[in-house]
Amino acid sequence: MQKRRLGKSDLEVSAIGFGCMGLSYGYGPATERSEAIRLIRAAHERGVTFFDSAEAYTGNEDLVGEALAPFRGEVVIATKFGFVNGDVSQGMDSRPQRIREVAETALKRLRTDRIDLFYKHRVDPNVPIEDVAGTVKKLIAEGKVGHFGLSEAGADSIRRAHAVQPVTALQSEYSLWWREPETEILPLLEELGIGFVPFSPLGKGFLTGAINQNTTFDQSDFRRRRAEPIRRWLISWAFAEAKGVTKAQIALSWLLAQKPWIAPIPGTTKLHRLEENLGAADVILTAEELGDIQAALSAVEVQGARYPQHLQQRVGK
């Protein structure tokens, strides 16, 4: 697996990481624990060194910690803070004392003495971003955290946080279907030397070709309430078949081609999908093919909101 450096930092990660959220949260019933551990370890065996978790992903940190404990020194583990009691539904809480509480708990759950990358999960309007950055700066000085990250933050918050404690990475949604970061965020990250970690790089599964208008979702699958607007934007790429690769591999290789400091974190609960995703690191898109993709995208109008209104209010701040 190729390696990439996140921005101007010294944090090196596999070109494609593993988003662990779906193993325990958001995409229907949690994967059986022993199977989830096997999958995480299978990712490591295949060269993945970058694993993403969060306090808010019910039980996920403990799962990731157990799975990666045998080779902790070989991997980069990212986790996140920022919600009341780690519960998204209860709203945000990024008070300095809460950040410290989350860090201490995460260290225990992850079975480690340092969080490699500690993200602010969403910008808290009630806590100055300078206070958040300052708190993480102290945790870094104490050796409990390696690097500071932000998730779904807007340009102003990124600049203000970065002025207090250099931001190593921004994690936000970015894919063939959701390209908003290209307008303002990617140029800013390049200017400041910040890496970019796209989540949902496969459009929450809709870019894989495995979901169609007849697909149904479990009651606990968060895509259920977003499926209708998303389904209006299904697209097929004939050149994926012609190139001898899958649609998912096209979507991931396209992301890798955008900037050398981008490291997407697709998630999956299936070994064959994991292997498919990682195979994208070996897919090279020519300038002509990238142009064909751009032409196809420009002919499609994206419809429907990315999040329900109450969640949309939390992004880009």
Hey, which residues are catalytic here? 57
Query: Which residues contact residue 4 at a Cβ distance below 8 angstroms, ignoring those fewer than 6 apart?
Result: 12, 13, 14, 15, 195, 260, 261, 262, 263
> What is the spatial distance between Cα 10 and Cα 29, in angstroms, rounded to a whole number?
37
What three-state secondary structure class fits 118?
strand
Choose among 151, 67, 56, 156: nearest CA to 105: 56
Strand-strand pairing, 3-5 and 115-120: unpaired
> What is the spatial distance between Cα 291 and Cα 217, in angstroms, rounded to a whole number?
34
DSSP string, 209-233: T---TT----TTBGGGGTHHHHHTT
What three-state secondary structure class fits 182?
helix
Choose among 76, 100, 110, 107: nearest CA to 195: 76
Q: What backbone torsions phi and psi does residue 150 show, to the nearest 5 degrees?
A: -125, 155
> What is the spatial distance between Cα 46 and Cα 42, in angstroms, rounded to a whole number?
6
Residue with tokens 């022993």: 34
> What is the spatial distance between Cα 271 and Cα 273, in angstroms, rounded to a whole number?
5
Choose among 154, 141, 147, 202: nearest CA to 174: 202
For residue 23, the 8-state DSSP code is G
Q: Apex CA 246: angle with CA 46 and CA 76, to 5°?
A: 30
Within a 10 A sphere around the Cβ of 160, how many other Cβ atoms?
Answer: 15
